[in-house]
Amino acid sequence: MTEANSNRNRSKHARSHYGREELRTVRSVKRRTGGKNNYSKFTPMDNNESIVEESEDEGEEEDDEQEDPQPSSMAYDALLTLLDDESDHEQFHAEKEKALKKLEEEQEREEEELQEEDEDEDEEDEEINLEDFESDDESHDDPFHFHFNEEESIDRMINEYESSGLKVKMDRKVNHNGYNILEYLPSTSRCLNEVKTLDKLRIKKKLRDQFSSLDFKDELDKKLTLDIFNYKNINYQYYTRETDYQSLYLLHALNHLLKTRDRIFDHNNKISADPNLEFKDQGYTRPKILILLPTRNFCFNLMNKLIKLADIKTVENKKRFNTQFYSDFKIETLNGNKPKDFNEFFRGNSSDFFTLGVKFTRKSMKIYSMLKQSDIIFASPLGLKMLLDKEKNDYLSSIEVTILDKADGLLMQNWDHVKQIFTKSLIQAPKNFEELNCDFSRIRMWCINDQAKYVHQVLSFSKYTTPELNNIVKAPNLQGYALYKPIIDDTNNVMNQLNYQLFQSRIINKNIRLNHMFMRFPSSSPMESPKKRLNFFTKVILPNVLTKSPYTSGTLVYISSYLDYIQVKKHLSESRSEFLAVDEYTSLSASSKNRSLFEKGKYPIMLYTERMHFYKRYNLNGVRNVVFYNLPTDPDFYAQVVRQIVRNKLKDEELDLNLCSIKVMFDRFDTLKLEKIVGLKRASLLVNAEQEVFEFK
């Protein structure tokens, strides 16, 4: 058989599996102009992260045999050595690039070795027995049906939504168990249906026991469940709340996949009986769920939870997955003084480089499936972006549910990777239609008309929120979006909790206090803010710290934005100020030297970046004053940095806490960050009051 004939046969076989064998003329296709993604723009963080190995698949036939993870592990170990190498800045980057190139070469070799996918066997595996099939009544109260399949209603709503300029309105604000939930809907005369009680959710029979076993602690959990299964976009801040939100979204993903599969199978049977019937039930490509996670350890834990919820006994390639994603490394054994969130994030395999396909067949679940044949794609933003840049593939063109978990970790890595995935690849029209193995007559009209963004669901789960996370869920979903915000008051904000702990420890009392001074600078727009912030720092803060502070040495300047850090560093260098700087790109030797000089008081100021704090959590000696050039992205970082002063007080009894200072720079666009640190009411006061300086003791 020639290669051309073989390709034609494979293409025909794939089309007959997902639909009819004939490629029929597509009727009532309404092409629209301006169909590009209209996601709200958001400012990326200018970050880079360490590159670590990834060994992505293509399809082993036998479970766990002929596996040799050693080359990848060796490359990973070599890279970790480089990260700790006491080389200078330029050598660090040069060696990191060499390590990255080596990892890519090893990945290519491994992919070539694993390109033995037997497509005929896969197609046979896809055939579903009648006993496995569960037909769904296409009811108007089924969220899956009315969100994806009622094409006339969807088309009318899209037209009206576009006519309104994609405007949204606040539908309601509700309070559940310490959370404010802000719900927004498109500015249209009518909206899609919404299921309002858990018992009305049409959960697939195979998943009902798992769903029933979920522990709904309160009305907040029930509300979150309804919003997820109603296909709303969600930005959920779990903050200090302990809830099993992962089981919710995994069951939602499984329910979505089962409904998609059974609907296609039902239509296949009807077409077999009457070839003239027409059905729209597919996208361009098979993958339907995308889950972005920051590290392999988080992926490992989530995958095991998925296996348990799917209740599938046969899991192909699980041993290989365990080898490449599991590690019993506990970072707290190296230093038991690190904060809890640090230990949780860097525990186990903390590699941020992976892309992994998962495919469900009649009797099994296959990890390391080919991405274009997968149902769910697990990935880190770095791993997925590099793969997309390399392959230029369209397997994200028909994703219907995207989940960002531990999104605060994604922010600390490189948010620009997430932004590029959303704007350049996710639910974008395929670039090469000739390479698609699909029956075009069965592709939904909103997909053909480049309108997938109106039904695409985005779920974000994070410790805290930022404008970037809010913007990403404000995509034009016809079901609207919901923002879940924990209510931070005068008792549970970070600053009050810190003062309470210090009071309980008898470090502060009625006579000994730490002075927190919040100083607002004028700014008319977020775009203008960086320039105004730098001007305020150089004209107001810096002279005060250098000449008027009781302690003229030991000032730590915490900067959350790397771009701001570069600007401040440049200004201090040009003005010939005496200062030190420690950032995420500083070599280990230079970092140790600078911290030692700062402790000895040789230099009055040390600049300290947020990402350096995130990755290292140094205990800095010699800190007497703190200047927050920006408010920390993670509210807990505020307390951790302020505690540096307290640590030095415990070492130096002569240090007078009353003379130490904590200065916080902010403008009226910092409300989200202020809320967690001082509480909602105080944040509103700080932003809107006429006075510009506020002291808290």
Contacts of 54 (CB under 8 A, 6+ apart): 72, 103, 107, 351, 353, 354, 355, 383
Average pLDDT over residues 595-623: 96
Q: Is the pLDDT of residue 318 over 50?
A: yes
Is 697 strand, coil or helix?
A: coil
pLDDT tens digits, 671-684: 999 999 999 999 99
For the ranges 30-44, 133-147, 250-264, the maximum mean pLDDT occurs at: 250-264
Strand ranges of the sheet holding 515-520, from the earlier edge strand across to the other edge = 579-582, 605-609, 555-559, 625-628, 661-666, 515-520, 693-696
- Name which of 38-47, 286-295, 471-480, 633-642 the model is least confident about: 38-47
Q: What is the pLDDT of residue 101?
A: 60
Give 684 or 95, the one with higher predicted confidence: 684
Q: What is the mean pLDDT of residues 590-608?
A: 97
- Distance from C-alpha of 486 to C-alpha of 674, rounded to nearest angstrom: 13
DSSP characters over 618-630: ---TT--EEEESS
Q: Computed over its alpha carbons, how large is the radius of gyration of the chain?
A: 27
**What percent of the chain stands above pLDDT 70?**
79
Query: Are 322 and 69 a contacting pair, CB within 8 Å?
Result: no
Element (H, E) at 663: strand 661-666
Query: Which residues lie across from 486 on neighbouring strands?
Result: 179
Quick check: 110 pLDDT over 70? no
Give the Cα separation of 644 and 83 in Å (integer).
25
Spell out the residues 6+ positions from residue 85 whose beta carbon is closer than 8 angstroms to its own.
91, 92, 95, 587, 588
The DSSP code for 422 is: I
Query: With bands split at pLDDT 50, 70 and 90, how would you rate the model's confidence at 7?
Result: very low
As given in the structure block, the two tokens for residue 652 are 């130096």
Q: Identify which of 266, 254, 264 has the alpha carbon closest to the alpha carbon of residue 229.
A: 254
Predicted confidence band of residue 88 (pLDDT cuts 50, 70, 90): very low
Phi/psi of residue 376, nearest 5 degrees: -125, 140
Domain with CATH 3.40.50.300 in the chain: 3-486, 494-696
563-583 tens-digit pLDDT: 999 999 999 999 999 999 999
Element (H, E) at 168: strand 168-176
Residue 86 has pLDDT above 90, yes or no: no
pLDDT of residue 118: 40
DSSP state of 442: G
Residue type, 676: K
371 near 355, Cβ under 8 Å?
yes
User: What pLDDT is recorded for position 499?
Assistant: 95
Average pLDDT of the segment spanning 607-631: 97
Which CATH topology does 494-696 take? Rossmann fold (3.40.50)
pLDDT on residue 80: 43
pLDDT score recorded for residue 431 = 83
Domain at 3-486, CATH homologous superfamily: P-loop containing nucleotide triphosphate hydrolases (3.40.50.300)
Distance CA 319, CA 323 (A): 6
Q: How far is CA 214 from the centre of its chain?
A: 24
Q: What is the pLDDT of residue 331?
A: 86
Residue type, 183: E
3-state secondary structure of 344: helix
- Residue 572, classed as helix, strand or coil, is helix
Confidence band (pLDDT; 50, 70, 90) for 192? low
More confident residue, 33 or 328: 328
- How far does Cα 152 stand from its chain's mean position? 33
What is the edge-to-edge ordering of all strands in the sheet holding 401-405? 168-176, 179-186, 481-486, 233-237, 457-462, 401-405, 289-292, 376-379, 355-360, 364-367, 314-316
Q: What do you get for the CA distance between the two ends of the chain, in Å?
A: 82
Q: Which of 379, 460, 381, 465 is CA-nearest to residue 421?
A: 381
pLDDT tens digits along 131-167: 455 666 566 689 999 899 998 999 999 999 999 999 9
What does the pLDDT average to over 635-648?
Answer: 96
Q: Minimal CA–CA distance to 518: which of 395, 685, 663, 320? A: 663
DSSP conformation letters of 24-87: PPPPS----SS-S--PPP-PPP---------------SSTT-S---HHHHHHHHHHHHHHH---
What is the token pair recorded at 38?
A: 């209209």
When pLDDT is cut at 50, 70 and 90, the band that residue 438 belongs to is confident
